[in-house]
Chains A and B, each alone.
Chain A
Amino acid sequence: DAKTTQPPSMDCAEGRAANLPCNHSTISGNEYVYWYRQIHSQGPQYIIHGLKNNETNEMASLIITEDRKSSTLILPHATLRDTAVYYCIVRSSRGNYGQNFVFGPGTRLSVLP
């Protein structure tokens, strides 16, 4: 299964763009990159996913490098409510868990006023 590496924590000033990096150097050609976030003690919230092209929705943008070994989640104008743990997940299509999500420790993003 492709594993991901994220920085344990990041700070971002309110109103500025938050750029959250993720490394997934062992990703396979048909595996998607997913991003979720979890605000304290709530269920994880889906943000975005992509395969190889850049993706954008109302919440965020996802930039995947051409070799697909890393990606960046961009929150264009961070607010205090974006303070959360952000998880980057490569969805495996193999293994004992079938095609379920395997969550790592994520990045704790703190948006500062």
Chain B
Amino acid sequence: KAGVTQTPRYLIKTRGQQVTLSCSPISGHRSVSWYQQTPGQGLQFLFEYFSETQRNKGNFPGRFSGRQFSNSRSEMNVSTLELGDSALYLCASSLVGPGTAQRRTDTQYFGPGTRLTVL
């Protein structure tokens, strides 16, 4: 099976612009989670989508949003970019969503990430 893919791999934007990142999960996986990784804050959870619905959300401002399509592919959007949004954005897919007993042993598989630089 192909792994999790993310596009683009690298992106350079300027302050005030907006950006859309894309994630294709492993075939058959229905849950997609997004994480932000910075040197100062480490890996932080942004949100999770399952069955086209946001199921969990981390502590990020409303400028960060996402969506999931019927084929489980997901996009995240950051509006009004700030310098502090420069980070590695990671997507992870898993088979099941939250709220199920199987969740405890359901592994998340990560993509290679999108490196966003805001100038």
Contacts of A16-69 to chain B: CB distance below 8 A: 30-32, 34, 36, 41-46, 49
**How many residues on B have C-beta within 8 angstroms of the other chain's C-beta atoms?**
28
Is the C-beta of A91 less than 8 angstroms from some C-beta in chain B?
yes
- For the A-B complex, the count of residue pairs with Cβ-Cβ distances under 8 Å equals 61
- For B109, give the chain A residue with the smallest CB separation: A46
- Chain A residues with CB below 8 A from B113, complex form: 41-43
In whole Å, how far is A100's beta carbon from the nearest beta carbon of chain B?
5
Contact with A along B78-103 (1 / 0, CB 8 A): 00000000001010100000110001
Contact in complex: B111, A43 (CB < 8 Å)? yes
Q: Once bound together, how far apart are the Cα atoms of A38 and B33, in whole Å?
A: 17
Contact in complex: B108, A104 (CB < 8 Å)? no
Given A42-B112, A43-B90, A44-B90: A99 in contact with B103 (beta carbons within 8 A):
yes
Can you spell out 13 A-B residue pairs with CB atoms less than 8 angstroms apart? A32-B105, A41-B115, A42-B112, A43-B4, A43-B113, A46-B107, A93-B103, A97-B56, A98-B98, A99-B103, A99-B104, A100-B56, A103-B44
- Chain A residues with CB below 8 A from B15, complex form: none
- Chain A residues with CB below 8 A from B112, complex form: 42-43
In whole Å, how far is A6's beta carbon from the nearest beta carbon of chain B?
12
The one of B56, B92, B104 in contact with A93, judged by C-beta atoms closer than 8 angstroms, is: B104
Q: Once bound together, how far apart are the Cα atoms of A35 and B42, in whole Å?
A: 16
Which chain A residues have a beta carbon within 8 Å of chain B's beta carbons? 30-32, 34, 36, 41-46, 49, 87, 91, 93, 96-105
In whole Å, how far is A59's beta carbon from the nearest beta carbon of chain B?
13
- For B33, give the chain A residue with the smallest CB separation: A100
Q: Once bound together, how far apart are the Cα atoms of A32 and B99, in whole Å?
A: 15
In whole Å, how far is A27's beta carbon from the nearest beta carbon of chain B?
12
The one of B88, B99, B111, B115 in contact with A98, judged by C-beta atoms closer than 8 angstroms, is: B99
